[in-house]
């Protein structure tokens, strides 16, 4: 008898997607489409457990359309007796009393999923055939300081035939871990577990730590350009008491994201033309493109750069395009000097002093009066 597990994390359902303007609803649907693939795969392949390692929702207050969609999908899984277990991550854990509860607890109250709501390890025991499977879950604790390890000093029983740990933290030694945030140290990865599953790092990766297989399934859609070269998907595992017998990574149809580095020159004709020619070679109506414009041009040549006409050109040729001109610099004879630090009152004083020096003697009282009055008005508005 073996146990089948579908492992996923970081689905980030219902992102705000504001940068996509009128296409934000379509972009939100991308995240649902990737989750649909998991649900359909599960309904077809019937895992015993469907594990979700946090950041299932992108925020603590997902919109009603997404909640209704999720409720329906979880119900479909429940009706086929697929056990869905979740922990919450950075995005879907409440950070204050005011925020109250995670949106995951709504689904847990319907009885369709099991939510490990606690930020310390708690467990749930299952029996599949003659195998007992113990799953220990631990949601994120947003209150820990960067030097606190949530598993330090924890005694974890591994008395099931198959023992699985599910959580949402960076783990030392994995790609994307940088140490300056709350994380699980290598030495805290418990012994005697057949699987340690985690969410948080969006790149799919795995390793053996202290003899325990540690897996990040990664995100199911791209949440930023940091993920542009990564394959997105979920893990399909077959396990027994000896460990993982088979593992497969199944891709999800994440929308492609690409960065185009466009180097413009002073010789090549209009900047708009140069960039448009490069865009023409990378067309793809499904793509999210970031254009990095690099180069040093004269002020005169810079006037041939028309971002608005490039945006119009891209309209039906890409899903979305954003421009980053931080690397586009102007050739100047001498560097521009920055203005001295000043305040509104100092500037006003300077202006009136200059005025006083030039007006006729009999006009001076009027200027003095105006100066005093203006300063008083500014102070009333709280300006200093």
- Cα-trace Rg, the chain: 29
Written as one string, the DSSP assignment of 6-31 is: EEE----BS---GGGGGGHHHHHHHH
Backbone angles phi, psi at 117, to 5 degrees: -75, -25
| Closest distance to Mn ion from the beta carbon of 103 (Å) | 15
13 bridge partner residues: 57
| Closest distance to Mn ion from the beta carbon of 58 (Å) | 8
Q: How many residues bind Mn ion (CB under 5 A)?
A: 2
Distance between first and last Cα of the chain? 76
Q: Which residues of 313-338 are buried (b: 16+ CB within 10 A; e: fewer)?
A: bbeeebbbbebeeeebeeeeeeeeee
| Closest distance to Mn ion from the beta carbon of 24 (Å) | 19
| 10 or 48: CB nearest Mn ion | 10
- Burial of 145 (C-beta count, 10 Å sphere; 0-12/13-18/19+): exposed
Site string for Mn ion, 27-66 (x = CB under 5 A): ----------------------------x-----------
Query: CA-CA distance, 12 to 251, in Å (whole number)?
Result: 16
| Closest distance to Mn ion from the beta carbon of 178 (Å) | 15
| 55 or 227: CB nearest Mn ion | 55
Point out the residue whose Cβ comes nearest to Mn ion.
Answer: 55
| 171 or 314: CB nearest Mn ion | 171
| 77 or 201: CB nearest Mn ion | 201
| 55 or 161: CB nearest Mn ion | 55
Site string for Mn ion, 166-205 (x = CB under 5 A): ----------------------------------------
Short-list 282, 325, 283, 284, CA closest to 305: 325
| 14 or 55: CB nearest Mn ion | 55
For residues 182 and 140, is the Cβ–Cβ distance under 8 A?
no
Binding region for Mn ion (CB under 5 A) out of 8-16, 111-119, 243-251, 360-368: 8-16
317: which residues sit within 8 A by CB, 6+ positions away?
279, 283, 284, 285
The one among 6, 7, 8, 10 contacting Mn ion by CB under 5 A: 10
Give the residues lining the site for Mn ion (CB under 5 A). Answer: 10, 55
């Amino acid at each position: 008898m073996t146990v089948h597990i579908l492992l996923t994390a970081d689905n980030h359902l219902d992102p705000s997607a504001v940068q996509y303007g009128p296409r934000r609803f379509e972009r939100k649907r991308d995240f649902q489409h990737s989750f649909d693939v998991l649900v359909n795969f599960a309904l077809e392949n019937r895992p015993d457990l469907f594990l979700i390692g946090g950041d299932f929702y992108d925020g603590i207050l997902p919109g009603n359309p997404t909640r209704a969609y999720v409720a329906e999908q979880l119900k479909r899984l429940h009706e086929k007796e697929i056990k869905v277990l979740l922990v919450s991550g950075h995005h879907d854990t409440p950070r204050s009393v005011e925020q109250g509860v995670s949106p995951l607890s709504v689904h847990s109250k319907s009885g369709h999923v099991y939510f490990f709501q606690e930020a310390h390890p708690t467990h749930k025991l299952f029996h599949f055939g003659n195998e007992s499977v113990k799953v220990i879950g631990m949601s994120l604790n947003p209150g820990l300081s960067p030097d606190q390890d949530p598993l330090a000093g924890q005694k974890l029983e591994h008395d099931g035939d198959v023992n699985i740990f599910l959580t949402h933290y960076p783990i030392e030694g994995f790609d994307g871990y940088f140490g300056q945030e709350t994380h699980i140290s290598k030495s805290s990865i418990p012994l005697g577990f057949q699987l340690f599953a985690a969410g948080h790092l969006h790149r799919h990766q795995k390793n053996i730590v202290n003899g325990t297989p540690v897996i990040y399934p990664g995100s199911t859609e791209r949440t930023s350009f940091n993920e542009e070269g990564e394959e997105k998907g979920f893990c399909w595992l077959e396990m027994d008491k000896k460990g993982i017998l088979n593992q497969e990574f199944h891709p999800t149809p994440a929308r492609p994201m690409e960065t185009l580095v466009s180097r413009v020159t002073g010789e090549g004709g209009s900047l708009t033309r140069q960039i448009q020619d490069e865009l023409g070679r990378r067309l793809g109506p499904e793509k999210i493109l970031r254009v990095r414009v690099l180069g040093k041009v004269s002020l005169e040549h810079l006037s041939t750069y028309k971002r608005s006409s490039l945006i119009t050109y891209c309209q039906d040729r890409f899903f979305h395009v954003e421009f980053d001109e931080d690397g586009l610099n102007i050739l100047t004879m001498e560097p521009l000097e920055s203005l001295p630090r000043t305040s509104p009152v100092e500037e006003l004083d300077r202006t009136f002093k200059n005025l006083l020096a030039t007006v006729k003697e009999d006009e001076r009282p009027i200027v003095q009066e105006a100066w005093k009055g203006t300063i008083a008005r500014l102070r009333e508005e709280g300006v200093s």
